[in-house]
Amino acid sequence: MSHGHGHGRRKVDVPVGRVARRVLLGFLALAAVATLAGLALLWPGEGDTPDKVAYAAEGVTFPDAEIVSVEESCPVIVVDPAAPPPENADEPFPENCNTLVARLVEGPDDGAEVRVQTEPSVVRSGLEPGDSVVLLRVPTETGEVATYGFSHTHREAPLAAMTILFVVVVAVVARLRGLLALVGLVLAAGIVWWFMLPGLLAGESGIGVAVVGSSLIMFVVLYLAHGPSVRTSTALAGTLLGIAVTAALGLWAVGATRLSGMSDDNGQFLQLYADGLDFQALLASGIIIAGLGVLNDVTITQSSAVWELREAAPSMTRRELFSRGMRIGRDHIASTIYTIVFAYAGTALGVLMLLSLYDRPILDVISSDMLTEEIVRTLASAIGLVASVPITTAIAAATVSGPVRERPNGSHVAGDHVAGTHADDVGV
């Protein structure tokens, strides 16, 4: 049986076990009640979150400007203490390198041209005359001309183009199912923005916020994208249990490795503006959130695989269903582990390159805070992912009806199914 990632809406004529269905829906009902209770308990009240922090000093503005010209980048000078000084060491350093000439298009100096010196990386990024940028305007108290600095490049147009292309491709290829998945993605982003981030900043339990928010996201996106059915419910049950495994393992791993959760500048800034945060719990909550997408993919695939197997082989026992479903799951695990590892390697590529330059033993490098965080995040997500495969497969195999017995008249019957009820039309 070939395996793919498409989970169609085709009606699958698979009866489900009456008792197993009741147990499954009862478990999900309890999980939903617990999720809503946690949402109410952990939702930050007004004034619980830290006050907004000013992005810049008072009076500083960010006017738009248009690039007029870009000066050549400064030469890169590498000084070797052991080597003699270069012949041109006494020559003055170029004054106009890494400089942008920009024409202001708004603000009190509208129409004026200003010279702004910036980082070499900005000049080498491909800025050209006509590009739209945002400058930083610092007023002076003496009434003199304000000073300007470079803030960032306007990137709204290419980002909007990529977003539109993404939506069009999803709509053309995945049709209604893909559009519903995009709606679920927007709702999930809203849960993260309006509940999880404020809850974490308010000092609520990091693990609690992550588990409640992740569970709520899975309830929304799974039923919205795949439809309310018993098959989707089995995937949801496996996903929730996978989240529990990942949460427990992540919390233990962060404590066992003595990670502080503050391996970069972001942690330092957070501690400055939002004191009282448990950064170890924040790191563990990040582990939970990071694995949600892949976890969802694996569980829905396993549930669909068992349903398809039952339809193709009505006489197959539940043990055989589980065994064959796990064969598919093992192939999926192998490919998904690569996805997790390479995704984290890509995001941490700069850190890996920097660590590879250090003249230190590899074991010392692995034990550094920056790399250990990535390793713990990868392994905890991967273990939760792997554990969810047999869990979901077992739930699905137990939920569908037992093997069909052939009657003397040639008809077939499954002894424990819900009469007239099939997997794709029994919702929660």
Residues 103 and 177 in one domain: no
User: 340 and 293 in contact (C-beta within 8 Å)?
Assistant: no
Of 87, 122, 153, the residue that ends a domain is: 153
User: 43 and 197 in contact (C-beta within 8 Å)?
Assistant: no
Asked whether residue 8 is domain-assigned, the answer is no
Asked whether residue 112 is domain-assigned, the answer is yes
What's the total number of domains in the chain?
2
| Backbone torsion region of residue 52, taken as left when φ is above 0, otherwise alpha when ψ lies between -120 and 50, otherwise beta | beta
Tokens of 110: 């509208």
The position carrying tokens 């350093």 is 93
Residues 207 and 302 in one domain: yes
Residues 205 and 353 in one domain: yes
User: 214 and 288 in contact (C-beta within 8 Å)?
Assistant: yes
H, E, C per residue of the chain: CCCCCCCCCCCCCCEEEHHHHHHHHHHHHHHHHHHHHHHHHHCCCCCCCCCCCCCCCCCCECCEEEEEEECCCCCCCCCCCCCCCCCCCCCCCCCCCCEEEEEECCCCCCCCEEEEECCHHHHCCCCCCCCEEEEEEECCCCCCCCEEEEEEECCHHHHHHHHHHHHHHHHHHHHHHHHHHHHHHHHHHHHHHHHHHHHHHCCCCHHHHHHHHHHHHHHHHHHHHHCCCHHHHHHHHHHHHHHHHHHHHHHHHHHHCCCCCCCCHHHHHHHHHCCCCCHHHHHHHHHHHHCHHHHHHHHHHHHHHHHHHHHHCCCCCHHHHHHHHHHHHHHHHHHHHHHHHHHHHHHCHHHHHHHHHCCCCHHHHHCCHHHHHHHHHHHHHHHHHHHHHHHHHHHHHHHECCCEEECCCCCEEECCEEEEEEHHHCCC
Among the listed residues 273, 292, 271, 293, the one whose alpha carbon sits nearest the alpha carbon of residue 282: 271
Predicted local distance difference test score (pLDDT) of residue 4 = 41
Residues 230 and 134 in one domain: no
Residues 314 and 395 in one domain: yes
Instruction: Collect all residues with Cβ–Cβ distance below 8 Å to 89 and sequence separation of at least 6.
Output: none
CA–CA distance, 124 with 70 (Å, rounded to integer): 10
Among the listed residues 322, 331, 330, the one whose alpha carbon sits nearest the alpha carbon of residue 303: 322
CA–CA distance, 365 with 358 (Å, rounded to integer): 8
Asked whether residue 51 is domain-assigned, the answer is no
Asked whether residue 388 is domain-assigned, the answer is yes
Asked whether residue 54 is domain-assigned, the answer is no
Residues 177 and 148 in one domain: no
Predicted TM-score of the model (pTM): 0.80
**Residues of the domain holding 149:** 65-153
Residues 223 and 269 in one domain: yes
User: 174 and 190 in contact (C-beta within 8 Å)?
Assistant: no
Asked whether residue 50 is domain-assigned, the answer is no
CA–CA distance, 410 with 428 (Å, rounded to integer): 34
Average pLDDT over the chain, rounded to whole? Answer: 83
Tokens of 204: 């609520």
Residues 127 and 256 in one domain: no
User: 50 and 200 in contact (C-beta within 8 Å)?
Assistant: no
Predicted local distance difference test score (pLDDT) of residue 143 = 62
Predicted local distance difference test score (pLDDT) of residue 349 = 80
Of 123, 153, 183, the residue that ends a domain is: 153
Asked whether residue 60 is domain-assigned, the answer is no
Predicted local distance difference test score (pLDDT) of residue 80 = 52
User: 415 and 328 in contact (C-beta within 8 Å)?
Assistant: no
Residues 248 and 334 in one domain: yes
Predicted local distance difference test score (pLDDT) of residue 162 = 96
Residues 179 and 136 in one domain: no
Residues 241 and 293 in one domain: yes
Predicted local distance difference test score (pLDDT) of residue 76 = 52
User: 303 and 392 in contact (C-beta within 8 Å)?
Assistant: yes
Asked whether residue 183 is domain-assigned, the answer is yes
Q: What string of pLDDT tens digits covers the 428 residues of the chain? A: 334 444 444 555 677 878 989 999 999 999 999 999 999 999 988 777 777 777 777 888 999 999 999 887 665 554 455 555 555 555 544 556 788 999 999 988 899 999 998 888 888 888 999 999 999 999 887 666 788 999 999 999 999 999 999 999 999 999 998 999 999 999 999 999 999 999 988 888 889 999 999 999 999 999 998 989 999 999 999 999 999 999 999 999 998 998 888 877 777 778 888 777 888 888 889 889 888 888 888 999 999 999 999 888 888 888 999 999 999 999 888 888 888 888 777 877 877 787 778 777 877 777 878 788 888 888 898 999 999 999 999 999 999 887 866 555 555 555 454 433 444 444 33
Of 153, 179, 212, the residue that ends a domain is: 153
Residues 142 and 19 in one domain: no
